[in-house]
Amino acid sequence: EIVLTQSPATLSLSPGERATLSCRASQSVSSYLAWYQQKPGQAPRLLIYDASNRATGIPARFSGSGSGTDFTLTISSLEPEDFAVYYCQQRSNFLFTFGPGTKVDIK
């Protein structure tokens, strides 16, 4: 099973600041990585798939990069609605796994 590790566990930032979230895989997943956003009491929402493609309707301030084992989600300028938990997910060999999440909270 491929294990995903996310860092930091919590990121405290102010609106307007840049957020950089990391996801590391225990072995290569090529570009088969996605990012999700989850707000309290809500279901997750797909933000980025195939490492760098924005899902339908996702604002351009969200971007993804990386391949192999190291991936990054960047939020260029935090909006108030962006404070949430972010999960990465890989899709290798029907052992789809998620990372433990990074909480982005208001500083």
Cβ-based nearer residue to another protein, 17 or 45: 45
Closest contact distance (angstroms) between CB of 87 and another protein is: 6
9, 13, 80, 101 from 50: Cα distances, Å? 23, 27, 26, 18
* 3 state DSSP class of 80: helix
Closest contact distance (angstroms) between CB of 69 and another protein is: 19
Closest contact distance (angstroms) between CB of 30 and another protein is: 13
Closest contact distance (angstroms) between CB of 16 and another protein is: 28
Cβ-based nearer residue to another protein, 8 or 100: 100
Maximum Cα interatomic distance, the chain, rounded to a whole number of Å:
39
Alpha helices in 5-95 (DSSP H): none
Cβ-based nearer residue to another protein, 54 or 61: 54
Residues in the site for another protein, rule: CB under 8 A?
34, 36, 43-46, 49, 55, 87, 89, 91, 94-101
> Considering only CA atoms, which of 53, 32, 54, 35 is closest in space to residue 44?
35
